[in-house]
Amino acid sequence: MAANSAAEHFNFIRGLIARPKNVGALVPSSPALARAIAAQVDPRRPGPVLELGPGTGVVTEALVARGIDEARLIAIEYDPEFAKLVAERFPRARILRGDAFAFARMLDGTIDQPYAAIVSGLPLLNFPVEKRRELIESALDRLQPGAPYIQFSYGTNPSIPPTERYTVKRAALVWKNLPPARVWVYRTV
């Protein structure tokens, strides 16, 4: 199910040029990073898996390879071309075009159970701390008890620090990515 690499890179560069704040890197996430992110999702945990900002679908592909049934996947992508590409690659997944920061408004009332995991490829460090906090806390409110909110970042620190309400741990440091990336996992206490 791997995408055509040249086409994938072309679409990624086009999105970067058109909307640089919404695309957080110069190249798509590497397969190594995608696998490190997907490794944080337990495929045996029932329920929907939400992906925020799937881009070209590299992490989506790793989630499916990990054993997440494509029909369980819901993805929200801002870029219309990326959304179209991911929808074509994963026809049984539910791909929505919109602002992933507004995922709660977009999905509330349409999902009748908490999420088994939420995975974010959003470039959160490009946004103010309060906007990051609102997104992550909103995500944590919609997860099953103990389920992870997974965020990758190029920064050396998590997007927001832990509080008495939730923990955050670095689950992976992926050197085989340009630039090297960290995978952060948040969970409610």
pLDDT digit string, tens, across residues 130-149: 999 999 999 999 999 999 99
* Amino acid type, 29: S
Nearest-5° Cα angle at 36, 33 to 41: 130
Question: How many residues make up the chain in this entry?
Answer: 189
Q: DSSP letters along 136-162, please?
A: HHHHHHTBPTTPPEEEEESSSS-SS--
What pTM value is reported for the model?
Answer: 0.87
Minimal CA–CA distance to 117: which of 188, 49, 35, 24?
A: 49
Mean pLDDT of the chain: 91
pLDDT digit string, tens, across residues 100-114: 999 999 998 899 999
What count of Cα atoms within 13 Å lies in the side-chain half-sphere of residue 162?
A: 12
**5-18 and 80-89 helices, crossing angle to 10°:** 150
Tokens 């990990």 — which residue? 66
The domains of the chain, with CATH numbers, are 5-188 (3.40.50.150)
pLDDT bracket for residue 28 (50, 70, 90): confident
11 pLDDT exceeds 80? no
24 pLDDT exceeds 90? no
**58-66 and 31-38 helices, crossing angle to 10°:** 50
pLDDT at 62: 98
* Amino acid type, 51: E
What count of Cα atoms within 13 Å lies in the side-chain half-sphere of residue 43?
A: 13
12 pLDDT exceeds 80? no
- CA distances in angstroms from 16 to 8, 25, 106, 187, listed in the order given: 12, 8, 24, 31
